[in-house]
Amino acid sequence: MKHFVYAMAILALAAGCKKNSASGEALSSPSQSEAAANARAAATIQFSGYTWTVRNSTGGPGPNVFSGSNAWVDASGRLHLKITKNTATGQWSCAEIYSTQNFGFGTYQWQVEGAIDKFDKNIVLGLFNYSGRNEFDEMDIEFARWGNNAWPNLNYTVWPAASGYSTWSHTKNFTLSGTYTTQRFTRTPNSVVFKSMGGFYNDDTNLFETATCTSPASSISTLAMPVHMNLWLYGGNAPSDAKEVEVIIHNFRYTAG
């Protein structure tokens, strides 16, 4: 979320189902079918067995324009998130959806298709649990360099449950041999365990990064919260390579625990 950007800037200044592919599948066109067009116009969409609100507004993070036409589910049930440019106006727009249901302790898993290790420095993909209370109650997996090519591109973050506690974060620079990854975190009252795997797996095969937040346990939110997925522009800045970006979420899975 937007507040993570501010924290990153401060820190920088101060310091199994298997399906893998070397190239990935071709990204589907938004104009693929009339059914897809109707889905993109809806205020809510169905994805992975849940109902999601499609954001269609301006504001943070960024600030950006979030267009409902940039998030849709295709005929195969896969979620597409896209950053697009209006060639007539030159305006860039982003994508975000969030669940109508709240989720608590348990495991959150996304199977993602996209060249997330090769994002432009201004591109951000977020997969996270968030109460809506700024700077609190949030667990993030984010792929971003926050406008600086020298910064790591994988970010795990836990925002505290109460004032007086610090935000926990872990970063890593990574590269992939393909475009399929599995991203996962597990919430308990005392910890959040993050894991990233190359390929599509329901276990830890091809684990390329993991980190655990446990300190202090009382700073970890115990709230049930919506799940968000967004693809946006850091600082509202256009991609420095001027290219549109699309990511496909093949599925989202929540297992209570």
Structure confidence by residue, pLDDT tens digits, 19-47:
333 223 333 333 344 444 444 555 999 99
Q: Is 247 helix (H, G, I), strand (E, B) or coil?
A: strand
Q: Is the pLDDT of residue 4 over 60?
A: no
Indicate the range of 32-46, 121-135, 238-252 predicted with least confidence. Answer: 32-46
Q: How far apart are CA 217 and CA 28, in angstroms?
A: 43
Structure confidence by residue, pLDDT tens digits, 156-179:
999 999 999 999 999 999 999 999
Structure confidence by residue, pLDDT tens digits, 81-110:
999 999 999 999 999 999 999 999 999 999
At residue 83, the pLDDT reads: 98
At residue 22, the pLDDT reads: 29
At residue 123, the pLDDT reads: 98
Q: What average pLDDT does this structure show over 182-207?
A: 98
Q: Is the pLDDT of residue 65 over 70?
A: yes
At residue 218, the pLDDT reads: 86
Q: How far apart are CA 179 and CA 27, in angstroms?
A: 11
Q: Is 3 helix (H, G, I), strand (E, B) or coil?
A: helix
Q: Is the pLDDT of residue 128 over 50?
A: yes
**What residues contact 115, with CB distance under 8 A and at least 6 apart?**
24, 176, 179
pLDDT band at 1, cuts 50/70/90?
Answer: low
pLDDT band at 217, cuts 50/70/90?
Answer: confident
Per the model's pLDDT, the better-predicted residue between 84 and 5 turns out to be 84
Structure tokens at 63: 């600030």
Q: What average pLDDT does this structure show over 101-127?
A: 98
Topology (CATH level 3) of domain 2-256: Jelly Rolls (2.60.120)
pTM of the complete model = 0.86
- Sorted by where each begins, the domain ranges of the chain are 2-256
How does the average pLDDT of the chain come out, rounded? 88
Percent of the chain with pLDDT over 90: 82
pLDDT band at 215, cuts 50/70/90?
Answer: confident
Q: How far apart are CA 246 and CA 35, in angstroms?
A: 19
Phi, psi for residue 137 in degrees, rounded to 5: 50, 60
